[in-house]
Amino acid sequence: MSQRFLGRNVLVTGASRGIGLGIAQRLAALGANVAVTARTAEEHPTLPGSLAESLAALRAAGPGRHVAIVADLADAESRARIVPEARAALGSVDVLVNNAAAAIYQSTLDYPLRRRRVVLEVNFHAPLDLAQQAIPEMRARGEGWIVNVSSASARHAAGPPFGGGPVAATIGVYGASKAALNRITNALGLELYGTGIRVNTIEPRAAVLSPGAETLVGGTLTPDQIEPLDAMVEATLALCDCGPERTGKVHVSLDLLAELGIAVPSWGAPGQ
């Protein structure tokens, strides 16, 4: 097995299941020291997966130093602990993968303020806060990678007339939060250009049926609307060690793999 990330310290948010866990496992298998964070320490009330299980999976995947950090990304004080705890356990963060998301689908017509605040805290404020915490040491080293995981829902719906099925009418607030994340990726890429820090967004071309997504939209999609979880994992990894010329961009998983000549792999990542 390649040791492509040997010695690199990586922080992955939302890594108790699905895409985040798949990314963390692959990084560990490729030699990285990995810190994973999520709210679920031992058991989620409705979804499979926990940080305890993720940590065990990382230790089985690679011999590096790995740590699980329980935190609530919707809470500013809780998320303020994440980068310091990762640094204390592993050393300064070389790669930050902002994967966690609050995917609360509901009609925009009656979407309550409380839920809007949670979505923006997790999907926009938390990634920016963690980036701001990690950037000073990346800048001092002259190198670093930040990858923000976004969604095709950030794009405007084409129309009228409008299509997209029943889900299209419920993803407005979620999509708006991801559009804000994409814009801040571009802004950070611009400001940090020339420092050696690469900031990029990755989003799937189609839906990835992780356990959370399966719960939300699993019964509404046809096979052509779904892509393998492994495609998102491998495309994210490509941005975790990309060259300094690739920064400030929004990349689509399958398109990026095609551009780089990487076949869609099948590593057996969880959530497929």
Instruction: Please check whether residue 61 is in contact with residue 22, taking contact to mean a CB–CB distance below 8 angstroms.
Output: no
Q: Rounded CA gap, 17 and 29, in Å?
A: 17
Q: Which two tokens stand for residue 244?
A: 């300094």
Instruction: Please check whether residue 260 is in contact with residue 7, taking contact to mean a CB–CB distance below 8 angstroms.
Output: no
CA 221 to chain CA centroid, Å, is 22
174 among known catalytic residues = yes
Burial of 220 (0-12, 13-18, 19+ CB in 10 A): exposed
Give the residue ranges of DSSP H helices in the chain.
18-29, 51-61, 76-79, 82-90, 113-120, 126-141, 165-168, 172-192, 211-217, 229-240, 253-260
Q: Which two tokens stand for residue 41?
A: 């320490």
Q: Rounded CA gap, 269 and 272, in Å?
A: 7
Instruction: Please check whether residue 100 is in contact with residue 122, taking contact to mean a CB–CB distance below 8 angstroms.
Output: yes
Q: Which are the catalytic amino acids? A: 174
